[in-house]
Chains A and B, each alone.
Chain A
Amino acid sequence: MNATAIRIQESPLDPAASVYSHDLPSGEPWLHEVRKGQTLRIVDLEGNQAADVIFFNRHDTDEHYSATQTILRQGGIYLTTGSVLYSNEDRPLLTIVADTCGRHDTLGGACAAESNTVRYALQKKFMHSCRDNYLQCIQAADVGLGKADLVPNVNFFMNVPVTADGHLKFDDGVSGPGKYVELRAEMDIWVLVSNCPQLNNPCNAYNPTPVRFLIWD
C-alpha cells in the first residue's frame, strides 16, 4: 500500500523529444488517444488551474477510470508520484511517473450547470461548465461515449482535503506556474479532458488558464 503524502519527482524527459504537443485554452475540452507505453505530461502553464480528466480503455469504453478502485487500491485519497490509476475492472490504466505538483484530487468531480445551481445559486445555470464541455466533446467525437461515461474524474492540480471529522475542504492549490504531472499509459487509452471554466470558486484562482499536453513514445 502506497503512502499518499506529497511525492515530488522530476521527469528526465525532454519536451523537445516529445511526439505531440497541444496547448488547451481554459474552458475547452480535449479527447485524445494515448497508446500503451507512451507517456503523457500535463503542464499547469500559469498555475492553479484545474484539469478535469477521465480515462477510458481505448478498445472498450465501458472500462473507465474508477476513483473508488484507485483510492481503495492505494489506501488513500490523494494522487502523486507512484499512484496507479485503476479502472472499474480493477486493471491499471496509467501510473504517475513524475509529479512536480505533488497532490491531485480524486473526490471533487467535475463542475456542471446543474451542480452549479445547487452549489451557488439557481441563476448560475447558464455559466459554462466541465460537464457541458465533456458532452460537447463526446457528441462531436462520436466514439461511443455518452453521459453515462462521465464518471468521477481526476482533478489534476487541485487540492481537496478531507478533515478528521469528516468534512471536505477546498484548499488553495499546491500547484504553480509550470508544474506538471506525468503518466505512463498501461494500456491504450482515451484521455477526455475539460480545462475547467469554473468562476464561482477559487479552484482556478478565479482566472482559468491554459494547460499543455505533451506525449512521448
Chain B
Amino acid sequence: MQKDTNPASPNPVDVIEHWRDFAPDLAADKVLFSERVPGGCHWSWRLPRGVALRLTALEEGANLSVVLYSALEKLERYNMPDSLKAQHTAHYTRGHVLMSDMGRSMASIISDTVGWHDPLGLLLDAGRLEEKYGQHNYQQFRNGMYRSGRDGLLIEIGKYGLTRRDLVAPVNFFSKVAVDEEGRFHFAPGNAPAGSHVDLRLDMDVIVAVSAAPHALDPRVAYAPGAVGIAAWRCGPAPADDYCRAFRPENARALHNSDMLYLV
C-alpha cells in the first residue's frame, strides 16, 4: 500500500467556529462562516442573496458601521435618504429594510434584540479620531493602533475599486442617536448590552464592508471600541409571508424590485 506522504490534516486551515460562542442558537448545518471583528477593525465580503448575517455586540458600546454595494453593479449602493423617507423612519429595527438608490431592498432586518440602530450615517474620520483620542500609530502601538471608521471603510471598498467618491453614509448598528425638536443629536449610551444581536438578510448579491470603530458621537473619553461577532448563515430569499414584506407596503415593493433581479 502506498504511503500517504502528505496526509490531510483533520483541521487543514485555522477556521474557528466563533459562532458557537456568540450565536449558539444558529443551526450548525446553516452556518457558513463566522468572524470575531475586534473593536476598531474592519473587513468586507461579497455575499449572495439568501445569506443572512448575524451581528452580535460582544461588548457593550460596540458599534458596527456597515455599507452595502450591489455585487452585480457597484453603482447601485445603499442609500440613506431613500431608505429613511420610504419607511418614514430615523431608526432601524426588525421589519425595516436597507434600500439601494435603485429602489431595491439590499438587506432586511429579520430579527433584532436592540430596537434601535442608527441610520443617520455619522462616521468617525481621522481628524475627529485624533482630536478625541490622540494619535496611536502602528510604529508605537503595533496592532493596537487606532483607525477611524471612515479610513477602515475606505480600505475595504477600495478592495473592489471603489473610492472616497463612492463611500456612502453607513448604518451604525448597535448605536442610537436621538434627535430633539431643535434637530440636535443626543447619543444614547448603553443602547446595546453585550450579547445584543441583529440578523440582516441579504436580498441581493452584495459587497458588505464593515468597521467596528467607535461611533462618531460616542461620548466616552477613552477609546474603547467593542468587538463584534459576525456569522453568515443560509436563510434563503424572503418568503411570500415575510415579516419585512408585510411591515410596510413600501418594503413589499422594494423586495419585489429585488426579486425582479432574480427572475430565473
| A positions within 8 Å CB-CB of B | 3-5, 61-62, 64, 67-69, 71-72, 75-78, 88-90, 107-110, 112-119, 121-122, 131, 146-152, 160-164, 166-170
Contact = CB atoms under 8 A, between A and B. Distances in A.
Contacts of A75: 184-185
Interface stretch (B5-13, B34-42, B161-169, B194-202): B161-169
A143 B166 CA distance: 17
Contact of B86 (A62, A115, A121): A115
Contacts of B254: 118
A152 B183 contact: no
Contact of A67 (B121, B180, B250): B121
A61 B127 CA distance: 21
Contacts of B18: none
Interface string B172-204: 000000111111110000000000000000000
A67 B183 contact: no
A146 B74 CA distance: 13
Contact of B182 (A5, A110, A170): A5
Given A109-B79, A117-B103, A162-B183, A168 B84 contact: yes
B184 A3 contact: yes
Contacts of B47: none
A3 B184 CA distance: 7
B257 A114 contact: yes
Contact of B85 (A64, A90, A119): A119
Contacts of B121: 67-68
Given A62-B164, A68-B120, A77-B179, A114 B101 contact: yes
Given A4-B183, A119-B250, 11 more contacts: A67-B121, A67-B169, A69-B125, A78-B182, A112-B103, A118-B86, A119-B86, A122-B256, A148-B75, A162-B183, A163-B179
A42 to B, nearest CB: 20
**What is the size category of the interface that chain B forms with chain A?**
35 or more
Nearest to B168: A151
A109 B122 contact: no
A115 B165 contact: no
23 contacts: A4-B184, A68-B121, A68-B169, A72-B128, A75-B184, A77-B179, A107-B90, A114-B104, A115-B86, A115-B99, A115-B101, A118-B82, A118-B103, A122-B256, A152-B79, A161-B181, A162-B179, A164-B178, A164-B181, A166-B91, A168-B85, A168-B87, A168-B90
B152 to A, nearest CB: 15
Contacts of B165: 61-62, 64, 148-149
B80 A109 contact: yes
Nearest to B179: A162
B180 A164 contact: yes
Given A67-B121, A108-B81, A119-B250, A76 B183 contact: yes
Contacts of A68: 80, 120-123, 169
Nearest to B253: A118
B89 A166 contact: yes
Contacts of B87: 168
Contacts of B168: 151
Contact of B103 (A108, A115, A149, A162): A115
B147 to A, nearest CB: 16
A112 B184 contact: no
B182 to A, nearest CB: 5
